[in-house]
Structures are given as structure tokens and as C-alpha cells.
Amino acid sequence: MKKRKPNYLLEAIVNIFANLPKGKVLDLGCGNGDYAKRLKDLGFEVIASDMDLERFKYHNLIKFEASNLDKPLPFPDNSFDYVLFLEVIEHLYNPDFVIEQVSRIIKPKGSLFLSTPNILNLGSRIRFLFEGGFDFFREPILDYSKAFPSGLQNMHIIVWRYHELEYLLFKNGLCAENVYTDLMKPALKFWGGALLPLLKFQSWQKERRSGKKGGVDYRRINKIILSKELLFGRHLIIRANKFKLY
């Protein structure tokens, strides 16, 4: 019998929620429902939502609400303490509309947990140097769509850096507060030992040049980009808290 691969992202989310106050959770883009089931087991009130009714495995345990991300979400304003939005943003053609809808249904001071492949880890950066494509974004979309037209819905369409994600969240009333990852790759830590001094020097030089010209202060973003989560992690997980837009 073939051994099942560990779901490191699932375990990372469970570990994060194990330390959070109990509340109402929406698992948006829930897939088969494994994440919703684990959070329910932790004592959270969970609603699962997706387009695919048949794929969801836990109809007898968890409330399921069908949703289409091309349309307004079928939930009232300020409905949830937490929203899970895992491995979905890279598939969307309309991310700004969707994140605006997600922000709308989160309670004041509630949180969104969003994940996407981490293209900024050292391995992905090296792959881009040689292939011109990041980890999880290697296939040419046009050729893939012609070869596998029925599988296009599972194709990664948009590459997201942390930089663009935090802006997308902020403009929709969500402030990125914490960064996590699911799996620290040992091989990347090895390369990090050799490359980190160079990366830190380059970042310092960039901060210095920009400061002399009166430009952007790069110290905040460089601290995030040089974190172990982004340098060595397989997936990027962001917790963004809702704030009041004026």
C-alpha cells in the first residue's frame, strides 16, 4: 500500500488555530473539506464553501454553502471571525473583487488566513534564474490550456509575491500581521547559509541607496523578505486582520 504524503499545509493551519480563541470560521474554497473538519474538531464553528458540492466529504458533519467566486459571496456583512482562503488566490482572474468580498464578510478585528505557493524561497528564485519559471508556476499557461483544456481550472494563473499580496489585502481593509509557512526545506537552509550574507548585504545596499535619494524605506519589507519563512518555506501563509477603512 502506497504511503500517503503528509499534508504539511493542513498541519500548519491546525497548529495556528490551536492557539486562537474559538469563533466562527468560513473555509472558502474548501475542496474536500479536510481543513474544515480539523478545525471543527478543535472546537470552532465551521462553514465550508466551494463550487464543487460533490467533492466535499463531510456533509453530515459540517454545513456546506455553495459559492461562485465570480459573484458576491452568499453571506451577510461581518459574519465570520476567521476566513480560510488556502491555495486559491493564484487561480483567480478577479482577485480584487474576491478579496473585497472576503473583507466584507469578516467581522471587525477578524482575520483572513490566506496561502499561496511561496515563489520567494531560495529554491524558487534559483529555478527562475535557470528556467524563467517559479516553483508551482513552471507550465506555460497557453500550451497547458491547449493540451489539457479540462484541467485549466486547476492551473496556477497569477504569480503572487508577498509585496503584491499585502497591498491587495490593505486596499480592501485587511492588514497583513503575521507570516507563516508549512515546510522549511533542509536543502534551502543549506544554501541559505552560503547565500544569506550576500542577500543581507544586497538588501542593506538597496536601503542605503534609496535613503540617499529620498525614496522608499526598504527596511520593513526587507525584514519580511529575509525571514526564514520566506527564504526557506514551501508555502506562504499570511494572517491579515480587518481594520476600518476611512
How far is the C-alpha of 242 from the C-alpha of 78, rounded, in Å? 10
Per-residue model confidence (pLDDT) at position 107: 97
pLDDT tens for 7-54 read 999 999 999 999 999 999 999 999 999 999 999 999 999 999 999 888
Give me the residue label for grid cell 518555506: 233
Average pLDDT, the chain: 94
Confidence of residue 96 (pLDDT cuts 50, 70, 90): very high
For residue 2, being part of any structural domain is answered with no
**Model's pTM, two decimal places?**
0.94
Residue at 19 is within a domain: yes
% pLDDT > 70, the chain: 98
How confident is the model at residue 133, as a pLDDT? 93
Which of 118, 120, 80, 133 has its CA nearest to residue 102? 80
Is pLDDT at 1 greater than 70 in this prediction?
A: no
Strand order from edge to edge, sheet including 174-180: 63-66, 45-50, 24-28, 80-86, 106-117, 235-242, 174-180
Q: How many domains does the chain have?
A: 1
Q: Report the helix count and the strand count for the chain, using DSSP H and E.
A: 9, 7
How far is Cα 200 from Cα 25, in angstroms, rounded to an integer? 39
Full residue range of the structural domain in which residue 79 is found: 8-184+234-242
Q: What is the CATH number of the domain that holds 35?
A: 3.40.50.150
What pLDDT score was predicted for residue 2?
Answer: 60
Element (H, E) at 190: helix 186-212
**pLDDT at residue 4 is higher than 80:** no
* C-alpha–C-alpha distance, residues 201 and 193, integer Å: 14
CA distance 97 to 103: 10
Classify residue 220: in a domain, yes or no: no
Residue that wins the pLDDT comparison between 38 and 154: 38
* 191 within some domain: no
Residue 110 lies in a domain: yes
- At position 228, the amino acid (one-letter code) is K
Domain-embedded: residue 207: no
CB proximity list for 9: less than 8 A, separation 6 or greater: 86, 87, 115, 182, 235, 237
Looking at per-residue confidence, does 138 or 20 come out higher? 20
Using only C-alpha atoms, the chain has a radius of gyration, in whole angstroms, of 19
Grid coordinates representing 106 are: 469578516
Give me the mean pLDDT over the 102-116 stretch: 97
Buried b (16+ CB within 10 A) or exposed e, 155-167: ebeebbbbeebbe
Burial 27-62 (b: 16+ CB within 10 A, else e): bbbbbebebbbbbbeeebebbbbbeeeeebbbeeeb
Determine, yes or no, domain membership for 206.
no
In a domain, 88, yes or no: yes
In this prediction, residue 152 has a pLDDT band, given cuts at 50, 70 and 90, of confident
